[in-house]
Chain A
Amino acid sequence: MNKAYRRLMAQQCLSDQTKQDIYGNLQMLEPNKPRSVRLKAAIVAACIMLMIPISVLAAEHIFGIAIFNRVEHATIHEQPGIAYEIRFNTIKNRPITDFSEHLQRLEETTVVCYDSWEDAEKDLGIDLISNSIFTDGKTEQILPYVSEGTPQASHCEGVYCVADGQLFYSKISAVYQRSRVKFMVSANLTVKHPTIADGELRKSHGFEYVYFQKDDPVFTTEQYTTKNGIPMTISIVNGADFSDDQAGYTDYNVYFAVNDVSYKVSIVGCEGVWNDSHMYTVLCEVLEGFVI
């Protein structure tokens, strides 16, 4: 596959005519004179860069979750973006023996389709958190959006990542809809590995988002404890603006951990009119349904 694909693509080149056209344009266009950096952006960037060491030291540690703000000016990006990294500091890497036997024997990264969260749980061999709203008649499982050509979507998916012949990470995720709001629930587990250091595995808990914004989004967190006593952290990004459909609306993600499994609940869509208040209300209903 390697050689054949290389041979195939090596034969494909930009046509001479197009090369000449682009080259001609490059010669004709004078490079833009350096524009003065917008003062506001420069000051904000400078302040944030100065704040980074302080924010690392003063990182919020709430129920084992540390949240860092970071400004990305990486040169591989077209424009500056803002990345938020969420890490679970207190999650332990599970021993491989916790998992079902066939997952212990996995030799390569595998994606498995399940009909339900419960089926995934059985296959995983580890008890996951349950949610009473899944069966209250007002929430339905839905298929996630998949693009053309993608293997058939499933109601619940398990991703099992293998390195050096052993599982090191697994993620179970399912998408639901309730009162027009679509949300995803996912469970992430890391596994003690003979060749990957514990710290490196813990890094894989990090959820990193990069938004390319015209204006700086506002990032806040809210601490939320359910009636069942589960502490959670809600990240709220106003003006996330990362797709035309969601322009100007708020991005909600919730993080919590139970029994060395880290969970995330994300609002991933809304049928009809997007409404922050409605999405937040439904989100809280979902959170209140979790039962240890």
Chain B
Amino acid sequence: MEHSEIVRLFETYSDDVFRLALSYLHNKQDAEDVCQSVFMKLIDYKKPIEKGKEKPWLLTCAVNASKDHLKSFWRRNTVELDETIVFSCEIDKELWEAVNSLAPKYRVVVHLYYYEGYSQDEIAAILKISRTAVQTRMSRARSKLKEVLSKYE
């Protein structure tokens, strides 16, 4: 891949990769580390990426890198609220904490569906799971978030 193309992809999608990693890890510093590693992987990737599929490719990498990061995360003894997350109002903070209460695999489905706007089939392709698994995870996430969701109906 041309270097200029890599730079273009970074300028276009770095925030999206960051947000997905943040939805997974709920920690800004970790999400930034993941973002860095994703674009370093892009440099090393030998095969051309199909036009129009660059973003899903990057998001899939971000998911995998986040999972790897999470494995090392579990070795830490304490979890602290990341004070650098920006909340414009108290409800946003409650929503953040409600989403944070979900397991990472549910959070990422919520993010890909509600923020990125992907369909269930597209989410299944990015996460390399079945459509049924996506439906199951969405169902469980919605059940868990039901109390918070009711505030926005």
Contacts and interface: CB of A to CB of B under 8 A. Distances in A.
A53 interface: no
A78 B1 CA distance: 15
A108 interface: yes
Contacts of A150: 103, 106, 140
Contact of B95 (A5, A12, A108, A169): A5
Contacts, number: 144
A246 to B, nearest CB: 15
Interface string B22-49: 1100001000100110011101111111
B57 A75 contact: yes
Contact of B36 (A10, A22, A27, A110): A22
Given A1-B152, A14-B32, A75-B53, A109 B135 contact: yes
A1 B149 contact: yes
Interface core residue of A3, A151, A171, A204 (most chain B CB under 10 Å): A151
Interface of B: 1-3, 6-7, 10, 14-15, 18-19, 22-23, 28, 32, 35-36, 39-41, 43-50, 53, 56-57, 60-61, 64, 85-88, 91-92, 95-96, 99, 101-106, 110-111, 114-115, 125-126, 128, 130-132, 135-136, 138-140, 143-145, 148-149, 152
Given A75-B50, A78-B60, 19 more contacts: A1-B95, A1-B148, A6-B115, A7-B88, A9-B115, A11-B86, A11-B88, A12-B19, A25-B39, A26-B39, A32-B43, A32-B44, A73-B47, A109-B135, A109-B139, A147-B103, A161-B135, A204-B131, A208-B130
